[in-house]
């Protein structure tokens, strides 16, 4: 069988021109049918030992194609492609080949599938977003499907990500994906690693690199240290880190490349947070996203285990110990009452300066005690851990070991004034894109809270944002950190803390136990705040170090 002519071309499907898609689909159909026929003929020949191996190989190849086709039939924004893919799958099945079926989670394990927008029922704006995304990547990933709760943000997010990965920038394409893999692997996020391993190979990356960081060029290896510190303890970044990268003889990074890398690293660290925070399921066409077994055999999903999420158990626990609705109803009421009080009190009673300063310290210190009780070490899955070294290095609160790290004051180095200028200087246009993204995330509101409408949520959003950055030691002079204590309850803090600092430990229980009355879209909204605040915090530390290096 000549492999050349059977080389599968999926990119034709990304075209916006329906006739182009048509021909591409027809082409795919023929290839698949030819392969299927071939397999059948091999099966029917009575005994052919020499062919056993190649048979398995070609079956494996076919299965990959079928899985991809399954993904298309579910997730392609173009209706014709969805229908035709399904048709092809059916006809393959009729030929007696087992076809895959998606594992029934939907895009997110935390959010019931029916809550999430179905592909095909989106409105015009969302459809435009979907087709843009599909045209760029050839897929519609689960992250997009969850984020589409907030289309305004999604647009900015996709634009930025597209620019970072595909538009002009100092780093070669395969480097970008590899850096993405490095960053995601730091948080053992197999979802993102899998996605980008595919992309990495697609843009011509060397498969050897995937065996571990030590097989990648020296230049990327050097980035490992920065990746590690940035992901877990960004406040430790010094200009010496930067200097080490920029002055390494022939392996040195240029400033522009470094800024690109830093942006990518922070983007993927925080995206890993989102992936775990929203319980994103594996892609349909990736491992663990589909199965060839009939439904009855097992509900078991590999990725759940690697992510430390045993969703089946969680489900039972949850249904058993569900809090009465009325109870959680009062939760929302209480929160709103507190907001109202704060709004009113603010002008009357003024806290003294020392009081304000100590409130920040308290919040900072307390944020480390806020931790999920089950602190057992989850050993990362083998295939992910090979992308980074030093697995023991994780988030450490600064005050825990008596190390006093000076507080980072936003008034002295902030994104708007300083960070933006630096990024835009070294990596034009990206500063603008990230700036817009921060803005949208920070200002996004529908003025709703659970079942209440017309609520000014700015206070709550600011509390969340500042609490996240507080965990990284970033302080806003003009914020009263006492508000955080009033507005964020413990289970919420546990969730935030886990998602931001050790996302791999997030469980469905945590997701369910905070803000029980709130809608899923609001919880996703919280996650958007989380990832942007985290990204900004990491960026601030990295960029400050670069600025210090430059002066």
Active site residues: 189
Residue 512 CA neighbour count, 13 Å, CB half: 18
DSSP conformational letter for 551: -
> Does 486 participate in binding other proteins (rule CB under 8 A)?
no
Nearest to 105 by CA among 508, 380, 381: 508
> Does 411 participate in binding other proteins (rule CB under 8 A)?
yes
Q: Which stretch binds other proteins (CB under 8 A): 63-71, 181-189, 322-330, 429-437?
A: 429-437
Query: Three-state SS for 325?
Result: helix
Q: Which stretch binds other proteins (CB under 8 A): 176-184, 188-196, 522-530, 543-551?
A: 543-551
By CB under 8 A, name the one of 256, 336, 362, 381 that touches other proteins: 256
The helix (H) or strand (E) run that includes residue 49 is none
In the complex with other proteins, which residue's Cβ is closer, 3 or 478? 478
Q: What is the DSSP string of 112-154?
A: -GGGSPPTTS--HHHHHHHHHHHHHHSS--HHHHHHTTSHHHH
> Does 356 participate in binding other proteins (rule CB under 8 A)?
yes
Site string for other proteins, 152-171 (x = CB under 8 A): ---------------xxxx-
Tell me how far, at minimum, the Cβ of 356 lies from other proteins, in Å: 6
- Neighbouring C-beta atoms of residue 63, cutoff 10 Å: 16
Tell me how far, at minimum, the Cβ of 412 lies from other proteins, in Å: 7
Tell me how far, at minimum, the Cβ of 429 lies from other proteins, in Å: 6
> Does 422 participate in binding other proteins (rule CB under 8 A)?
yes
> Does 417 participate in binding other proteins (rule CB under 8 A)?
yes
In the complex with other proteins, which residue's Cβ is closer, 170 or 394? 170
> Does 355 participate in binding other proteins (rule CB under 8 A)?
no
Question: 379-392: buried (b, 16+ CB within 10 Å) or exposed (e) per residue?
Answer: ebbeebebbbeeee
> Does 362 participate in binding other proteins (rule CB under 8 A)?
no
- Print the SS3 string covering 241-271: HHHHHHCCHHHCCCHHHHHHHHHHHHHHHHH
By CB under 8 A, name the one of 199, 257, 483, 532 that touches other proteins: 257
> Does 403 participate in binding other proteins (rule CB under 8 A)?
no
Tokens standing for residue 343:
């709004």
Cα distances (Å, whole numbers) of residue 411 to 124, 270, 477, 551: 42, 23, 7, 19
Tokens standing for residue 40:
């059948």
In the complex with other proteins, which residue's Cβ is closer, 45 or 551? 551
In the complex with other proteins, which residue's Cβ is closer, 72 or 546? 546
Q: Name 36's bridge partners.
A: none
CA distance 133 to 330: 41
> Does 490 participate in binding other proteins (rule CB under 8 A)?
no
Tell me how far, at minimum, the Cβ of 101 lies from other proteins, in Å: 38
Task: Look at the alpha carbons of 322, 323, 325, 328 in this order and tell me if their dihedral is positive or negative.
Answer: negative
Distance of CA 317 to the CA centre of its chain: 26
> Does 482 participate in binding other proteins (rule CB under 8 A)?
no
In the complex with other proteins, which residue's Cβ is closer, 130 or 427? 427
SS3 content of the chain, % helix, strand, coil (to 5): 65, 5, 30
> Does 252 participate in binding other proteins (rule CB under 8 A)?
yes
> Does 350 participate in binding other proteins (rule CB under 8 A)?
yes
In the complex with other proteins, which residue's Cβ is closer, 167 or 451? 167
> Does 254 participate in binding other proteins (rule CB under 8 A)?
yes
Beta-carbon contacts of residue 453 (< 8 Å; ≥ 6 apart): 447
> Does 409 participate in binding other proteins (rule CB under 8 A)?
yes
Q: Which residues bind other proteins (CB under 8 A)?
A: 167-170, 250, 252, 254, 256-257, 346, 350, 353-354, 356-357, 409, 411-412, 416-418, 420-422, 425, 427-429, 432, 435, 477-478, 547, 550-551
């Amino acid at each position: 069988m000549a492999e050349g002519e059977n080389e599968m071309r999926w990119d034709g499907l990304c075209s916006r021109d329906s006739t182009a898609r048509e021909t591409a689909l027809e082409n795919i159909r023929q290839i698949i049918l030819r392969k299927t026929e071939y397999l059948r003929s091999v099966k029917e020949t009575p005994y052919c030992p020499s062919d056993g191996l190649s048979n398995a190989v070609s079956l494996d190849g076919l299965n990959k194609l079928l899985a991809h086709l399954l993904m298309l039939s579910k997730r392609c924004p173009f209706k014709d492609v969805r229908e035709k893919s399904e048709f092809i799958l059916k006809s393959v099945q009729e030929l007696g080949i087992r076809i895959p079926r998606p594992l029934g989670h939907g895009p997110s394990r935390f959010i019931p599938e029916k809550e999430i927008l179905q592909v095909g029922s989106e409105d015009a704006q969302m459809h435009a977003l979907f087709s843009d995304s599909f045209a760029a990547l050839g897929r519609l990933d689960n992250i997009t499907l969850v984020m589409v709760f907030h289309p305004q943000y999604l647009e900015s997010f996709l634009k930025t990500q597209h620019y970072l990965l595909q538009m002009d920038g100092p780093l070669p394409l395969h480097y970008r994906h590899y850096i993405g893999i490095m960053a995601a692997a730091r948080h053992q996020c197999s979802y993102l690693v899998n996605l980008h391993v595919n992309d990495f190979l697609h843009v011509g990356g060397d498969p050897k690199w995937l065996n571990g960081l030590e097989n990648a060029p020296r230049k990327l290896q050097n980035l490992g240290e920065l990746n590690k510190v940035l992901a877990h303890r960004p406040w430790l970044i010094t200009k010496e880190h930067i200097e080490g990268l920029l002055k390494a003889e022939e392996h040195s990074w240029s400033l522009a490349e470094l800024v690109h890398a830093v942006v990518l690293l922070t983007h993927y660290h925080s995206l890993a947070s989102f992936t775990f925070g929203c319980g994103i399921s594996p892609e349909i066409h990736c491992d663990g996203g589909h199965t060839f077994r009939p439904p009855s055999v097992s509900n078991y999903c590999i990725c759940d285990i690697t992510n430390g999420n045993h969703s089946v158990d969680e489900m039972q626990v949850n249904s058993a110990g569900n809090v009465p609705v009325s109870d959680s109803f009062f939760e929302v009421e209480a929160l709103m009452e507190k907001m109202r009080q704060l709004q009113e009190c603010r002008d009357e009673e003024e806290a003294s300066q020392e009081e304000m300063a100590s409130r920040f310290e308290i919040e900072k210190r307390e944020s480390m005690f806020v931790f999920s009780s089950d602190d057992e070490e989850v050993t990362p899955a083998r295939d992910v851990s090979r992308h980074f070294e030093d697995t023991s290095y994780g988030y450490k609160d600064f005050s825990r070991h008596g190390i006093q790290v000076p507080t980072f004051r936003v008034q002295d180095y902030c994104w708007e004034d300083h960070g933006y200028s630096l990024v835009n200087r070294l990596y034009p246009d990206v500063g603008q894109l990230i700036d817009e993204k921060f803005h949208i995330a920070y200002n996004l509101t529908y003025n709703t809270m659970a079942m209440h409408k017309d609520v000014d949520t700015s206070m709550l959003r600011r509390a969340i944002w500042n609490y996240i950055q507080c965990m990284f030691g970033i302080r806003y002079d003009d914020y009263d950190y006492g508000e955080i204590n009033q507005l964020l309850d413990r289970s919420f803090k546990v969730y935030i803390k886990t998602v931001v600092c050790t996302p791999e430990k997030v469980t469905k229980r945590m997701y369910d136990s905070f803000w029980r009355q709130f809608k899923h879209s609001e919880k996703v909204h919280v996650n958007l705040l989380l990832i942007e605040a985290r990204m900004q915090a990491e960026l601030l530390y990295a960029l400050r170090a670069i600025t210090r290096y430059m002066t």
